[in-house]
Structure 1
Amino acid sequence: DIEYHKVKVNGVPTQTYSSSGTPYDAEDVMHELAEQCAAYRPVGQYAKPIWLGSATTPSCKTTGTVVSSFTNSEDAKSLLIFLFGEVCTITRYEDCAPIWYCKKCGSIHHSTVTSRNSDRCKTCSVPTADHDTHNH
């Protein structure tokens, strides 16, 4: 197995367009990085870079975050970069499981399927027999 180190490239401008007039995708951003930053060229990349967030995130924000993986921990730590005239920072990326909550009572300690609690308002925890969440 290859050891790799995931990082986030924060503050990447999303309103920058390629010569064809389309917004850059995550791979274009990493290609630009290789052209602009000599220190990046010899860096071993492990996985295809992706935008963090939904597919529409880059188009609705002025900056975004690209997640990339490096094969060398020093490469992952040492990059402070400029992309498209903006300072971008590199921070460690940590995978974490999504937090699921019970749709009946709002607890994060169990799922809706295993809940033994009665339905509750998600805003104030009053039982929904008295009122519902959308009545606030």
Structure 2
Amino acid sequence: MVDMKMISIEEHEKYEQEHSALEESESQWYFSREEIEKSASREEIDLRKAIYYQRSYSTFLQDLGMRLAHPQKIIATAITLCHRFFHRQSHKKHDRTVNSTIAIACMILSGKAEDKQVLVDEVLGRSYEILSRKDREFKKKNKQVMVFVSI
């Protein structure tokens, strides 16, 4: 049985205003220069560092997509999803491992969005190859985790 609650017209209008404002801000795809400069990804870091982080995960996604033989459309969608995530989330809040995890999730999600079969095991395996090649410490830390995931 559904429990229904009576609300006043004022409460309903207030709810509608808040809800529509939230939907509008979440569905916005184009941002002004001021909005980009004031985004969460720029909190407490300078422009050079923000650009470095963007290039880092964009290069990682391009390399991952090429190794997976994905079309450029899927790679571009993954990069766009990553940009949108970090527009709302600060780079400072996440370390390098978490940023890589977010990029991997964006690659999986972009494949789903573009209706291409994406094998999660293959994406994880290829991303592990790329990350372990770049960072020996990553390989030592995450070897046990990757074995657990691939079982």
TM-score, scaled to structure 2:
0.31
- Pick the structure with more strand per residue: 1
Which structure's relative contact order is higher, taking Cα pairs within 8 Å and 6+ residues apart? 1
Under a length normalisation based on structure 1, what TM-score does the superposition of the two structures give? 0.33
* Structure (1 or 2) with the larger CA radius of gyration: 1
